[in-house]
Amino acid sequence: MSRTGEGLPSARAGEARQILHVSDIHFGPHFLSDVADGVTDLVDRKRPDLVVVSGDLTQRAKIVQFRDARRWVDALQAPWIAVPGNHDIPMYRVWERLFVPYGAYKKNFSDEMEPLFECAGLFVVGINTAYPWTIKDGRFTIESLRRVKERLESAPADAAKIVVAHHPTIPPPRFDSRRVARRSLEALHLFAHMEVEMVLSGHVHQTWIGTSEEFYPQGHRPVLLVNSGTSTSARGRGWEKKRNSANWIRIDHDAVTISHLLWHPVERGFLEWSRHHYPRRHIRPFDLGLALDDPVV
């Protein structure tokens, strides 16, 4: 689902685009309403062009949890796009899991599981990696990759092409035993060929950035792989245990800047704790313009 919204700022050609990337909202027992209010406040103040929610809207795919999640995203003062995660498929309602695994999601949150958002300079497409025949692992299906390819083929030449998935395509640092989405190699080969700028994901409740060529070297221009931790639940893992994170992404003509945001309980807000700068795919040679004869401070 993508939303335009009355009275929201419209995107203008040539301006830098800004995206807030949150994930693993987990409406239910572990949901932190004060942190969710912090997300809402951040959107109100900064007015991103788009809010991306990369899956796990709920803890147990219950009707009330989906409806609460929908009310929350609808209240954001920005367009939004969301994809389902493995927690958005019923765990214990076995009949639903086997025969209508996405029924509760479609009826109570959104009937679109692979949404598309487009504005001047941005082309963002979701892909569903949640899979009912596993408990938590995900996969890119052949059919979903075909659909995404068809959509990407229609993207404007000057737009930043972004894919949103719940499951990551590379393992997190210091957490190498975690499995990545099945067919990640094939997916990233396709995304690189289609000149996708980045893939936004979640699932493991940790924040990091990598590139496709670091893990699957194929001689392509690298695709940025950006993961968000859990933004509004008490289920952080690794060094992000009991922490909440999100990503602020700024895309201008020449570069992509990704800021990791961390929730600070004392400050009652998300603050920037690291910043990462990458050239856009069309910049050749692949360079940020550092004058190597000058001293680096």
Domains of the chain in sequence order: 29-279 (3.60.21.10)
Give the pLDDT confidence score for residue 74 in this predicted structure: 98
- What confidence tens digit (pLDDT) does each residue in 215-258 have? 999 888 899 999 999 999 999 998 899 999 999 999 999 999 99
Q: Which residue has the higher pLDDT, 268 or 283?
A: 268
Gap between the Cα atoms of 20 and 36, Å rounded: 13
Structure tokens at 117: 């958002």
What was the pLDDT predicted at 22? 98
User: DSSP states of 51-120 as a string?
Assistant: EEE-S--BSS--HHHHHHHHHHHHHSSS-EEE---GGGS-SS-HHHHHH-TTHHHHHHT-S-SS-EEEET
Residue 289 backbone class (left: φ over 0; alpha: ψ -120 to 50; beta: rest):
left
**Mean pLDDT, residues 25-37:** 97
Q: Which of 116, 177, 202 is nearest to 152 (CA)?
A: 116
Sorted by sequence, the CB contacts under 8 Å of residue 156 that are 6+ apart come out as 123
| Position 93 confidence tier, pLDDT thresholds 50, 70, 90 | confident
Per mean pLDDT, which range of 100-104, 244-248, 287-291 is the poorest?
Answer: 287-291
Highest mean pLDDT among 72-86, 204-218, 273-287: 72-86
Q: How many residues does the chain have?
A: 297
- Whether the full predicted model's pTM is greater than 0.85, yes or no, is yes
What percent of the chain shows pLDDT beyond 90?
A: 78
Are 190 and 149 contacting, i.e. CB atoms less than 8 angstroms apart? yes
DSSP 220: S
Distance CA 55, CA 231 (A): 11
Angle at 113 between CA 45 and CA 137, to 5 degrees: 100
Q: What is the pLDDT of residue 292?
A: 57
Coil, strand or helix at 240: helix
**If 0-12 CB within 10 Å is exposed, 13-18 middle and 19+ buried, where does residue 103 land?**
middle
Instruction: Choose the weakest-confidence range: 78-92, 206-220, 277-291.
Output: 277-291
Average pLDDT over residues 103-132: 96
- Is residue 192 predicted with pLDDT exceeding 80? yes
Q: How far apart are CA 60 and CA 70, in angstroms?
A: 15
pLDDT beyond 90 at 98: no
- So what's the pLDDT on residue 32? 98
The pLDDT assigned to 9 comes to 44
